[in-house]
């Protein structure tokens, strides 16, 4: 039961966590630009890619054993939840947190304008019926006319999807985030239907000490649809 992790480049260590339904391959278009300045660690989250399903404690213990003493962490969507939790619990090792199209609570409630459970369940149902086709359609919609060569990676199992869905549904890290004092940056896409941009305004009020960036023409994948802008923001922050 080993996690799957690969590393590239040299320089400041930065760990990348992918989103639900994907694996570490989603970050590959960034490697050539970043590997001269950063040592990049790409991680398959539990139940995705080549990392088996495991609980948080087992995942964290294995991961920390593979990483340098100090590192920054970047997480997209589901990976943003993992990145935030790791940053809270290991603040002495995580030097900076960057969260992309993610927040400490994925599902909406009366005080939190996130995605409705109905919308998310519908996407999950579509994914369950045709995993590869739905992921390709999702990528095509996100990237619009951007010509990016991207390999989908290992198609997730039904059990892996369900394990990831449980994290998205159940994890609520809002209180922990209030106590986080290390540098943090939250990136949103104005056109994102999954992590709505209006959530950024709520977070600014609750967590005014963090950095916030809005990609005005991006949806849920600004690191691919607006790669150069994203890389500029990452270099500025980390």
Instruction: Please identify every residue annotated as catalytic.
Output: 77, 192, 220
Among residues 202, 204, 213, 207, the alpha carbon closest in space to that of 181 is found at 207
| Count of other CB atoms within 10 angstroms of residue 116 | 12
Q: How far apart are CA 16 and CA 13, in angstroms?
A: 10
Q: How far apart are CA 92 and CA 121, in angstroms?
A: 36
Helices and strands in the chain, H and E counts? 10, 7
Residues 6+ apart with CB under 8 A from 185: 96, 97, 98, 99, 210, 211, 212, 213, 233, 237
């Amino acid at each position: 039961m080993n996690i799957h992790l690969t590393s590239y480049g040299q320089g400041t260590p930065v760990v990348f966590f992918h989103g639900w339904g994907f694996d570490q391959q989603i970050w590959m278009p960034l490697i050539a630009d970043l590997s001269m300045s950063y040592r990049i660690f790409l991680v398959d989250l539990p139940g995705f890619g080549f990392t088996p399903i495991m609980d948080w404690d087992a995942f964290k213990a294995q991961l920390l054993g593979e990483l340098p003493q100090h590192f920054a962490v970047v997480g997209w969507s589901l990976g943003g939840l993992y990145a935030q939790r790791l940053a809270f619990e290991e603040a002495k090792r995580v030097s900076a947190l960057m969260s992309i199209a993610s927040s400490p609570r994925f599902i909406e409630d009366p005080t939190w304008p996130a995605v409705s459970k109905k919308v998310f369940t519908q996407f999950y149902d579509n994914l369950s019926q045709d995993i590869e086709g739905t992921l390709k359609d999702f990528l095509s919609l996100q990237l619009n006319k951007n010509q990016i060569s991207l390999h989908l990676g290992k198609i997730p199992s039904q059990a892996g999807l369900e394990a990831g869905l449980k994290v998205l549904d159940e994890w609520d890290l809002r209180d922990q985030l209030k106590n986080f004092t290390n540098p943090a940056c939250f990136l949103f896409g104005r056109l994102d239907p999954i992590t709505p941009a209006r959530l950024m305004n709520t977070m600014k009020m609750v967590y005014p000490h963090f950095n916030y960036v809005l990609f005005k023409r991006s949806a849920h994948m600004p690191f691919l649809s607006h790669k150069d802008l994203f890389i500029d923001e990452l270099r500025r922050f980390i």
